[in-house]
Structure 1
Amino acid sequence: MPLIDLDAIRPLLVCPRCRSTLLAAPHSFHCAAPDCPYHPAGSFPMVGRWPVLVDFERSVLRREQVGLAAGAALPRSAVDRLPPALRGLWKPVNRAAVRNVDRLLRSLPGSAPTLLVVGGATVGNGTAAVYRDPRVQVIGFDIVTGPSTQFLADAHQIPLADRSADAIVVQAVLEHVLDPELVVAEIHRVLKDDGLVYAETPFLQQVHAGAYDFVRYTASGHRFLFRRFAEIDAGTVAGPGTQLVWSIDHLVRGLTRSATAGRLIRALLFWLRRLDAAVPAAYAADSASAQYFLGRKRDREMSPEEIIAYYRGAQRSR
């Protein structure tokens, strides 16, 4: 796994409050700016091997929560413990991610490009190629620890310098942040000029992270979220067949008051996902389970007129 060593990342790290340089001390970091609240030594402690680079006054995260998260390993879900053949019935390979991540990697410039994974505590479905490519230098952060993260941070205040990454992957994250527009603005800031972003975000999915699940996006809404990026490709991650499986799962959960019953039904109805391939792209866009966007950083924003004209669904006037 070609993760950059923490020592190599240090020149790129900045204070999440004022974006000044961070200074390292034994078992902690602090901001170099004398007038910053995070200037005192030990302002950003290390819990285990992970620096905690969070501006807690502007984050929903609390110090005690992060400390607990960093002190424990991520538990394996019941699905992850299943044999691969059965696991695929519940969580099939994300072929959209496989295809688009491969395209992103082939588009990266030069040697040793830097790729940032936002929400990288675990390797995302279909993104394993990011960690297998020996040419790519991967930086990963999340609000919880994992084998593929180098530090803990809040995506609303990414503690990396301007124009420090060649590419960013943000998969199934934006629905879990309070202000997706601010997070995408941070992604834009951290990317180098002409840098690449790959994002996947739900459209028609039930709540799946309790109190930490906030927003959903249509195809047009997702495109407008990334309005300061030129589109390379965009489309459906999973279509109405997958969305139907989600809905039946949660209907059964509600009727039986049992998440286990819902999961069992989802596994038995795996074949409904295959109907996604039979639905034309325009109809899938209007009823997708999730959307993806692959784009390149630019300075110009889409106008309101452009986003109205962008609509590609089946309800276009004829």
Structure 2
Amino acid sequence: MALAGWDETRPLLVCPLCRADLQRRSDGLSCLDPECVHHAPSAFPVVGRWPVLVDFESSVVTRDSALSPEGRTDTGRSADGLPAPLRRLVKPLNHVAARNVELLLRALPGQKPRLLVVGGATVGNGVDAVYRDPNVQVIGFDIVTSPVTQFVADAHRIPLRSASVDAVLVQAVLEHVLDPSSVVAEIHRVLKDEGLVYSETPFLQQVHAGAHDFTRFTASGHRFLFRRFEEIASGPVAGPGTQLLWSMDHLVRGLTRNAVAGRAARAALFWLRALDRLVPADFALDDASALYFLGSKREREMSAGEIIAYYRGAQRSG
């Protein structure tokens, strides 16, 4: 696995609040700036091998939850209660992500480029190639510890130096943050000039992750979220058939009051997913289950007129 080591990651870390350098203390890390509130000893505790670089005053992450043994570790194990064959029907390989990640990897510059995974407690569906590529240094973080992350952080304040990474992967994360625009601004900040971003975000999906699910985006809304990026590719991750599967899953959950029953119904109706291939691209954009965006960093923002003209769905007049 191509995870960057601590010696490679440590020089990139900064205070999430003021972005000053960090210093090592016996019980954790703290900010070097004496005027910063995080200059105090143990401002950033270390849990196991993971420094917790969170400004708790501005985050939904609390110090207690970050340090609690019950709630701070993500092992990446499935908890849906279904046998492995049914799990594969419920959540098949994301071929769109696999294709786009290959595009991203081919576009990365030079030797040992750094790729940041935002919300990387588990290896995302279809992005395994990122972790297998020996030429890439993968840096990952999430609000919980994980074998595939180097630190704990809140994506609203990424504790990395500006212009320090060559690419960012943010898959199925932006719906779970309070302010997606602030997170994308942070992604823009930590990327080098012309750095790459790959994002997947739901459009028509029911609530998942309970209280930590906040936002959905249309294709135009998703594009405007990344308005300070040049588009390389974008489109549906999954279309109306997959969207219908989500609805059937949650309808059965509601009728039976049982999440496993809903997932079983999704597995039984797996063939609906094949209908995605029959829907023209413009109709799929208006009824997608999820959307992707692959782009490169730029300084100029899209204007209001540009985002209106950007619409490529089936409801164009004339």
TM range (shorter): over 0.9
Q: Does 1:256 pair with 2:261?
A: no
Task: Tell me, yes or no, if the aligned pair for 2:87 and 2:267 is still in contact at 8 Å.
Answer: no
Q: Does 1:114 pair with 2:146?
A: no
Q: Deviations over 1:140-199 (max 9, x none)?
A: 000011111000000000000000000000000000000000000000000000000000
What displacement does 1:23 show? 1.1
Q: Does 1:240 pair with 2:240?
A: yes
Amino acid at match of 2:158: I
Give the equivalent residue in structure 2 for 1:76. Answer: 77
Equivalent position SS for 1:189: helix
Give the equivalent residue in structure 1 for 2:5. Answer: 5
1:219-238 alignment, distance < 5 Å = 219-238=219-238
What displacement does 1:2 show? 1.1
Alpha carbons of structure 1 residues 221 and 33: separation in structure 2 relative to 1, 3 Å = same
Task: Tell me, yes or no, if the aligned pair for 2:73 and 2:146 is still in contact at 8 Å.
Answer: no
1:1-318 alignment, distance < 5 Å = 1-68=1-68, 72-74=73-75, 76-79=77-80, 82-83=83-84, 85-318=85-318
Task: Tell me, yes or no, if the aligned pair for 2:76 and 2:122 is still in contact at 8 Å.
Answer: no
Q: Please, which runs of 5 or more residues in structure 1 have no aligned partner?
A: none
- C-alpha separation between the residues in 2 aligned to 1:168 and 1:271? 33
Amino acid at match of 2:206: Q
Q: CA RMSD in A?
A: 1.3
What displacement does 1:81 show? 7.2
For these two proteins, the number of residue pairs brought into alignment is 317
Task: Tell me, yes or no, if the aligned pair for 1:104 and 1:196 is still in contact at 8 Å.
Answer: yes
Amino acid at match of 2:78: S
- C-alpha separation between the residues in 2 aligned to 1:136 and 1:81? 34
Q: Deviations over 1:194-252 (max 9, x none)?
A: 00000000000000011000000000000000000000000000000000000011111
Amino acid at match of 1:74: T
What displacement does 1:72 show? 4.0
What displacement does 1:26 show? 3.2
What displacement does 1:80 show? 8.5
Equivalent position SS for 1:284: helix
Alpha carbons of structure 1 residues 106 and 287: separation in structure 2 relative to 1, 3 Å = same
- C-alpha separation between the residues in 1 aligned to 2:73 and 2:97? 29
- C-alpha separation between the residues in 1 aligned to 2:275 and 2:74? 37
- C-alpha separation between the residues in 2 aligned to 1:241 and 1:98? 20
> What percentage of aligned pairs have identical amino acids?
67
- C-alpha separation between the residues in 2 aligned to 1:79 and 1:66? 24
- C-alpha separation between the residues in 2 aligned to 1:154 and 1:276? 35
Q: Please, which runs of 5 or more residues in structure 2 have no aligned partner?
A: none
